Amino acid sequence: MRIYARRMVGARRRSAQTLYADSEDVQLLTYAGHVAGSPIPSSPTSYEPYDSLKPNRNRSYQSRNSKASLSDMLQNATDSVLKRAGSLSLPNLTRNNSDARTIFVNNPSKNQEQKFLHNRVFTGKYTVFTFLPKFLYEEFSKYANLFFLFISGIQQIPGISPTSRWTTLVPLVIVLIITAVKELVEDWGVHRSDAKANATETTVLEGDTFRKKQWKDIVVGDIIRMESGEFFPADLILLSSSEPEGLCYIETSNLDGEVNLKIKQALPQTSKKTSPLQISNLEATITSEKPNNRLYTYDGTMSVVDDIGKVKDIPLTPDQLLLRGAQLRNTGWIYGVVVFTGHETKLLLNSSKKPSKSSNITRITNRNILFLFAILVLMSIAGAVGDLVTTLRAGNERGYLALEQTNLASQFGYDILTFLILFNSFIPISLMVTMELVKYVLSYLIDADLDMYYDKTETPATARSSSLIEELGQVKFVFSDKTGTLTCNQMEFRQCSIAGLSYADKVESDRKARDDNDPSGLYTFKQMRQHLDSHHSSSIIHEFLTLLATCHTVIPEMKGEDKQEIVYQASSPDEGALVAGAKSLGYTFHTRKPNGVIINIHGVDYVYEVLNVCEFNSTRKRMSTIVRTPDGKIKLYCKGADTVILERLANDNPYTEDTLVHLEDFATEGLRTLCIAMREISEEEYAQWSQVYERAATTLKNRADELDKAAELIERDLFLLGATAIEDKLQEGVPETIYTLQEAGIKVWVLTGDRQETAINIGYSCKLLQEEMSLIVCNEESLEATKAFLENKYHEVKAILDRREALEPLALVIDGKALTFALEKEIEKVFLDLAVLCKAVICCRVSPLQKALVVKVVKKYIPAILLAIGDGANDVSMIQAAHVGIGISGVEGLQAAQSADFAISQFRFLKKLLLVHGSWAYQRLSKMIFYYFYKNVGLYLTLFWFAFFNGFSGQTLYESWTLASFNVIFTFLPPFVIGVFDQHASARTLDKYPQMYMLGQSNFYFGQVRFWGWMTNAVFHSAALFFIGVWAFADDGTFRQGWLGGHWWVGTTIFTATLFAILMKGALVCDIWTKYTLIAFSVSVAIWFIFVPLATLIGPYLNIFQEYYGIVPQMFGNLNYWLYVILVPLLCNIRDLSWKYYKRMYRAETYHVIQEIQKYNIPDYRPRMDRFKLAVNKVRKIQRLKQNRGYAFSQSEGGQDKLIRAYDTTSTKPAG
């Protein structure tokens, strides 16, 4: 045995180069401290338990564990082999305590000594202690805030600032306070959801009774009683349940996205303890692996003291593990002992802290601020150099200034600081406040949009993070969950084909059958009941419905006060739908016994003895039961995918062709199909075959393969009864939404935990996959095979593109195992290159961690905005990894919605959220930010030009409080209304022409070329306004009584003209004028003309505005003033108007044409190719369906025969 172990170690080490397992390398949430309940690790490598026989595909993981001695590895391997061989020696976990935690059942004092982690969950961004440092760090990582902090500091130095020392600090503090309040409000919502989860109650064993306890108070070692429908509060080991042999059903859609129920089973040694007293007397010790993020594996040992006092070690497997976030379903109650709590549970180890996200526009704005800061420094240096030159050249001539007495070097430095302060609003601090206010209003518009209000649940759309709203207008990739996001988690039996005739629950009038034998028409289920009595196919209909009621693994439960309501417990929702469909047609399955089932057919009970079950698996793609009917005959009932059933039919099947046509019709409608067949077996044949089956069932080597071979012997010469069609009901509007998103240039990837066949079926149903697409399916089993497959496919596609040949649309389908390899560093780029060439991508059987990793790989290589959408806890990591996360408030709970940036209640609302609100937000904010930069540069450059005329003395052209009020009073409203109300197209137009969305994807409105265009325009306007003013007022103004205009008269006149030019420019760039736009621009003008007289009036009393003393009559009563403030701004904007006219008339963009169509309401004359496309797609669809058609199995593989043999629904279940 030792030699065998050494060979096994060598084999595993060689194969480890091509295998892979999740490790802490790809863990999104790093648990920093040492794991409670174990010695402090000497190095980070001890975080993951090393199992020498477990497949490990992470090379770096191996290298980090290379410090372990070879003898230790051999010892561990030997122990594992001995354990698997049935030896009673302790498993590997108990030999090395550093790789395990020990949990004492019903011994709280010993568990407390180990100081396990508490069960409180915290997913918020801030705490009371971390808020201030984290918030300030994030805010001052923004260049604008850092710059204004610097300016505020130097303004406090006496004799440096030409303005008040508070003009920068006060606005900066206001900005920080507003942002802090917004952050606190958003994070408070996360804290409330955490508090709600922590305060949820469950029942915990105390002594020999169960008492209510909050989730946060649960500790490792507690025994918990859970009831059907409840979510597990921690990771548990199943001890017993209300079901036979300790079985229970759980749903893990929150963890892996799968809606089919999974079966868990307690150990035989604990499954009989079904009362509080019995479970309180359990003496056991659990040696468990350390916390890790692997959802599908678990290693542990339970040491149980038996009735004679002997300790027995029983291995624990994933069959006994119940994970936090999973839900108990169709099971009365269970007892479980807690092994992992809080942030050490597998669910939370697959999650991540809510990251700090900033939008692309914010990042570009920060970059543009750097450019402006560089220009500002150059302007300040130029001003200081000018002052130095003036001092050297004219210092003696201007003795009254005492220039010769200054230290030139220190004066040069002071001059730079003076000009930095003078020009500091060149970078507008109020821009940040305006951006936050505009984003808040735009978020409110999303919240208040009735088109995105779901009245069934009374749930509105919610913008949980206003800082990312403009990202919605630039999305290039959408990563979507399937279950609960695209589908409703509801399976319904819709249609079937029996004896060449097609039946449906609802039939449209134009598709009704013309007579009693019309294969091309549709009959209703009501007509099927009539055919069952009098039609020539009545015997076949009877066999068909009998098969649906007997060939399954469903367990019936009687519910209700009178125990008359039947509830079906099905591991597969498809099976539940078929059994429920048979019940609706009069064949009611109501009792299961270990050796048979009882079916009520039209009021009469019939007992069918279940002799054998040939189980479903992904290779067989079918399931069979051999039953003895009430009349004593032996029949084989088989259901499965058409590809495997059709090749096992006898030669004389009269209904094959008609059934194939019906199958194609079903699949065309997106329904999931199964073929239904049977054969009668003689007693002699069954006796011979049963011996073969028994030998296969008892073999110790390759049992599953032997059972499959035995099934092949009996599943032959079948008679085709017909086919079933089940609808995996999509959410309303999903196909239209996906089609529209694709038209908008958005690539949609579906990341699901479901099986490949299910995912492909849903892909066709929701129009993600289309008939003309070629599927690239990757199901490779090793790293080398995956790499070779992806590279070959990529080179094939690239070669076609290089030859400029026509390439039909492609779709990539990859399963979780192959995806694990594809995400390795050496081939992730090839995987991404191939995926990007495909119109659609579906990743199946993926873990929550893999979802996040796919998003991160795309984010790593492609500079595009990524959006992730999901509704379960398994989607949280993906949502947080994307630039924009959207949670759906669905049936799987609110975990995704609470962790997302935006929350909607239906997938179809994503269309308006992106194409309308996203496009508007991106276009509005882009225009508003550039307009803000323009107006500040335009005004403050006039001060720079003035420096050339005042000897670079730092003298301002405008009164200081007027200058300070420019952004916050005079020009606050215009950019605000542009940011809130401007529209480049209406909502209806954006929905009608989704291609308009591509403007955001290409950053059309916020590119660097546009930025420098706006800045150039600002330079032109400022130069025209200032130098025309200098020319016009070169001789100053002379008024009555000998008054001269002077410095402040000229400065105020130029300020008025600059203000008017800026307002005209704002009016010119508006795409739509609303009443609010008119009010904003009119009020801005009125405020200025009210401000000046008011300042003149109250100035003498407050000892401010002294520059305005007596200025009003000289301005408002002077013709030159009115000519200048009207004509010069008009002259500046005539150039802009001419350019705008030229572009629209001679160099029109696509959106210009759309705007014209909208304005004049021009009918849409685009040719309609719908009928032609439908005909072509029908042909392509039939060709595709003949090669590959989805089938409706999604149940767990293996253990089905054992499951149904364990149940006797006539027996009374323990109360627990």
Q: How far apart are CA 1041 and CA 693, in angstroms?
A: 122
Distance CA 719, CA 722 (A): 9
> Tokens 């089940």 correspond to what residue?
726
Strand order in the sheet with 284-289: 100-105, 284-289, 300-305, 311-316
451 marked ligand binding residue: no
**Token digits for 1041?**
């009584």
Closest CA to 766 of 670, 856, 909: 670
Are the CB atoms for 1053 and 1029 separated by under 8 Å? yes
Strand, helix or coil for residue 64: helix
Q: By C-alpha distance, which of 93, 89, 106, 78 is closest to 287?
A: 93
Q: Give the residue among 861, 873, 860 at the shortest CA–CA distance from 900.
A: 873
- The answer to whether the beta carbons of residues 64 and 319 sit under 8 Å apart is no
Alpha carbon separation from 804 to 570, 793, 798, 800 (Å, rounded): 52, 17, 10, 6
Listed in order, strand segments (DSSP E) in 440-586 are: 462-463, 475-480, 487-498, 501-504, 522-524, 555-559, 565-569
* C-alpha closest to that of 39 among 327, 348, 290, 213: 290
State the amino acid at position 435 in one-letter form.
M
839 is in an annotated binding site: no
Catalytic residue among 481, 658, 665, 815: 481
- Between CA 1016 and CA 405 the distance in angstroms is 40
Contact indicator for 722, 737 with CB cutoff of 8 Å = no
Strand locations in 173-299, DSSP E?
201-206, 209-214, 223-227, 235-241, 247-251, 262-265, 284-289
647 is in an annotated binding site: no
Here the tokens at position 380 are 């300040």
Q: Is 482 assigned a ligand-binding role in the annotation?
A: yes
Beta-carbon count within 10 A of 48 CB: 25
Q: What is the dihedral of CA 1068, 1074, 1076, 1078, to 10 degrees?
A: 50
The residues with which 593 forms a beta bridge, in sequence order, are 596
Q: Where do we find the tokens 């591509």?
A: 998
* 633 annotated binding-site participant: no
CA gap 1181, 1070 in Å, rounded: 48
Is 752 marked as binding a ligand?
yes
Query: Is residue 851 annotated as involved in ligand binding?
Result: yes
* Cα dihedral 22, 26, 28, 34 sign: positive
481 is in an annotated binding site: yes
Q: Residue 1004, annotated ligand binder?
A: no
Q: Is the dihedral of CA 824, 828, 834, 836 positive or negative?
A: positive
Beta bridge partners of 437: none
Q: Where are the beta strands (DSSP E) in 389-520?
A: 462-463, 475-480, 487-498, 501-504
* Residue 56, marked binder: no
Backbone angles phi, psi at 324, to 5 degrees: -55, 140
Q: Is 481 a residue of the active site?
A: yes
Question: Is 639 annotated for ligand binding?
Answer: yes
367 C-beta neighbours (distance < 10 Å), count = 13
Ligand-binding site membership of 740 (annotated): no
Q: Tell whether residue 110 is among the known ligand binding residues.
A: no
Q: CB burial class (10 A; 0-12, 13-18, 19+) of residue 79?
A: buried
Quote the CA–CA distance of 511 and 885 in Å, as a whole number.
44
On whether 209 is known to bind a ligand per the annotation, the reply is: no
Cα(329)–Cα(230) distance, rounded to whole angstroms? Answer: 8
Please name the residue that has the structure tokens 């029942």.
203
In whole angstroms, what is the distance from residue 1039 CA to residue 660 CA? 100
Residue 595 annotated as part of some ligand binding site: no
Helices (H), 122-233: 131-139, 143-155, 169-198
Query: Which residues are documented as binding site?
Result: 481-483, 575, 616, 639, 672, 752-754, 845, 851, 871, 874-875
Which residues are known to be catalytic? 481
Query: Which residues are documented as binding site for ATP?
Result: 481-483, 575, 616, 639, 672, 752-754, 845, 851, 874-875
Query: Which residues are documented as binding site for Mg(2+)?
Result: 481, 483, 871, 875
